[in-house]
């Protein structure tokens, strides 16, 4: 019997529904990255006093998001930089920051001009650096810890 993408997908779905598919183990680098970003978000929320930087409402728990200014996908090194993270309520983060990035970035630039300049300089520096190594995340965790 021939193998096709459809057949493999069907078998994968059957295994998932039967609970026999094992999750892939995360690499040490991935685990350190998640831990570093989580800690950086916590430090940024503490710095901002758990106040949404857009609407100035006090936020806590799941309603308090650590929102990146420069997306992780655009600069992985800035993902762990607390100057690249701001506290936001769920509403402002999901329904304003992500829905209207053309308005969001200029807002940040005008509210936090020094941070904006810093982030732009760091992005340029980071373009010249190679791939992120495990030691980068270890250093971040030590600094934020």
Complete DSSP assignment for 5-28: HHHHHHHHHHHHHHT-PPPPPPPH
Does residue 12 belong to any structural domain of this protein?
A: no
- 10 Å Cβ neighbour count for 93? 23
Structurally, how many domains does the chain consist of? Answer: 1
Does residue 134 belong to any structural domain of this protein?
A: yes
Which residue range forms the structural domain that includes residue 39?
26-144
Which tens digit of pLDDT belongs to each residue from 7-45?
445 555 565 566 666 677 889 999 999 999 999 999 999
Does residue 10 belong to any structural domain of this protein?
A: no
Report d(CA 39, CA 1) in Å as an integer.
51
Residues 6+ apart with CB under 8 A from 15: 21
Does residue 4 belong to any structural domain of this protein?
A: no
Does residue 11 belong to any structural domain of this protein?
A: no
Which tens digit of pLDDT belongs to each residue from 60-116?
999 999 999 999 999 999 999 999 999 999 999 999 999 998 999 999 999 999 999
Three-state secondary structure call for residue 108? helix
On the CB side of 42, CA atoms within 13 Å amount to 9
Does residue 21 belong to any structural domain of this protein?
A: no
Does residue 107 belong to any structural domain of this protein?
A: yes
Does residue 119 belong to any structural domain of this protein?
A: yes
Helix ranges (DSSP H) in 48-133: 90-92, 101-111, 113-127
- 10 Å Cβ neighbour count for 134? 14
């Amino acid at each position: 019997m021939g193998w096709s993408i459809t057949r493999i997908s069907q078998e994968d779905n059957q295994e998932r529904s039967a609970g026999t598919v094992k999750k892939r183990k995360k690499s040490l680098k991935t685990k350190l990255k998640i831990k570093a970003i989580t800690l950086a978000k916590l430090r940024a929320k503490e710095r901002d006093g758990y106040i949404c930087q857009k609407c100035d409402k006090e936020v806590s728990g799941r309603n308090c998001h650590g929102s990146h200014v420069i997306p992780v996908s655009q600069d992985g090194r800035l993902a762990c930089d607390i100057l690249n993270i701001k506290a936001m309520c769920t509403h402002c983060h999901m329904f304003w920051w992500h829905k209207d990035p053309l308005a969001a970035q200029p807002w940040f630039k005008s509210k936090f001009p020094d941070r904006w300049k810093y982030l732009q300089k760091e992005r340029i520096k980071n373009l010249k650096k190679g791939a992120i190594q495990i030691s980068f995340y270890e250093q971040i965790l030590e600094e934020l810890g």
